[in-house]
Structure 1
Amino acid sequence: MQPQPTGRLVRKDDGVYIVIDRIFKAHIEEVWSYFSRSPRLAEWLGEYKGTGSTGAVKFRMNAEGDAADWQDVAVRECTAPHRLHVVVDPSGQAMVMYVHLTEASGHTTVTFGYRLHKVADGADLAVGWDYYFDRLIAAHDHKPMPEWGDYHPAMVDHYATLCHELDRDLRSEQLAQRNGTTG
């Protein structure tokens, strides 16, 4: 069965985010460990070194192959086991991300957000994050990792349409503001 795109674009005060949700039949502390413990994080995304409580760690994606570089990460908020906000490469083209976890009736919902620099360029990133979070599901459930080829290019058109429509709306709103008109 082909994976389906699950992400959405959400406007926030500081920009537009790709937002993806996943639900686990597990307690929140178990799911949190896949974000807070380097060996667990390495099962689906990458590894880190350093101590998050200091606010700074180094991170390297392992799903991108052996040539991935270590990147500086600034931990902006870490409220275990509920909230993690980070900025990857805070000195360069920063990647702002958050993870929020909630638990109810033995199920944990993970909500992930990734801030886009340019909405028009978000399609490939959205496909990638869908893929990574399906890798998280596979790691948690001890199943085989999904294949990138099942996601890309199959999901690109879906996300490109979302990005194009939101980008068009944002441009229209900016034009209306410059012209002094509203909706």
Structure 2
Amino acid sequence: MTAKPTGHYTLKPDGLYLQFDRLFHAPIEEVWYALTNPNAMRAWIGTYTGRPETGGVRFQMTFEGDGAEWQNVSILECAPPHRFLADSGPAPTGIRVFAHLREAAGMTTLTFGQRLSNTADAATMGPGWDYYLDRLMAAKAGRPLPDWETYYPAFADHYKGLHVPAETHG
């Protein structure tokens, strides 16, 4: 697989998101498991402790280097195996992410997004999420994990050049 930048902006009622899509040759339950099980997550991004059904967990991005900090995450919505919405950190500087999954013909589409407070953040967030989502795909398929150097700074210009969609009123 040749890495390429895939993120684009989308407007939602609560703000501007950087959004990504990935297609898995797997049932929706398997992709959901890889996204939400703390042991499965270790293969591509990190892990968490706690019980999601309580509405909160502590998450650590273990691939961010030695000493990655644990973050408190609030789970705002969780509808297995179709979608989740979560916040990490205090508003307005905190991070909000969502994942939506759809299955058809034995394949699952993951749509993932992170809300932006500033479009300048896309130059680092975009390559980061392309990297992590490609790691998820590689881990799920049993392929070697990609190298960060392939993504950053190579993808930064793509994200700096994205056009912010105009709001529509209807």
Q: Please indicate the TM-score interval, normalised by the length of the shorter structure.
A: over 0.9
- SS of the residue corresponding to residue 63 of structure 1 reads helix
Distance 2:103 2:93 in 1: 33
Distance 1:63 1:92 in 2: 25
Structure 1 unaligned residues grouped into runs of 5+: 174-183
Larger Rg: 1
Match of 2:7 in 1: 7
Q: Structure 1 runs of 4+ off > 3 angstroms?
A: none
Q: Which amino acid aligns with 1:15?
A: G
- Which structure dedicates a bigger proportion of its chain to helix? 1
- Number of corresponding residues: 167
The answer as to whether partners of 1:102 and 1:108 remain within 8 angstroms in 2 is yes
CA shift, 1:93, in A, is 2.2
- SS of the residue corresponding to residue 20 of structure 1 reads strand
- SS of the residue corresponding to residue 22 of structure 2 reads strand
The answer as to whether partners of 1:74 and 1:87 remain within 8 angstroms in 2 is yes
Match of 1:179 in 2: none
Normalising by structure 2, we get a TM-score of: 0.93
Q: Which amino acid aligns with 1:77?
A: E
Match of 2:124 in 1: 124
Distance 1:118 1:92 in 2: 11
- SS of the residue corresponding to residue 29 of structure 1 reads helix
The answer as to whether partners of 1:17 and 1:113 remain within 8 angstroms in 2 is yes
Per-residue CA deviation, residues 101-157 of structure 1 (Å, 9 max, x unaligned), is: 110000000000100110122111111100100000111011111001111111111
**How big is the alpha-carbon RMSD for the aligned residues of Structure 1 and Structure 2?**
1.6
Normalising by structure 1, we get a TM-score of: 0.87
Distance 1:28 1:21 in 2: 14
Structure 2 unaligned residues grouped into runs of 5+: none
Alignment of 1:158-177 (within 5 A): 158-162=158-162, 165-166=163-164
Match of 1:180 in 2: none
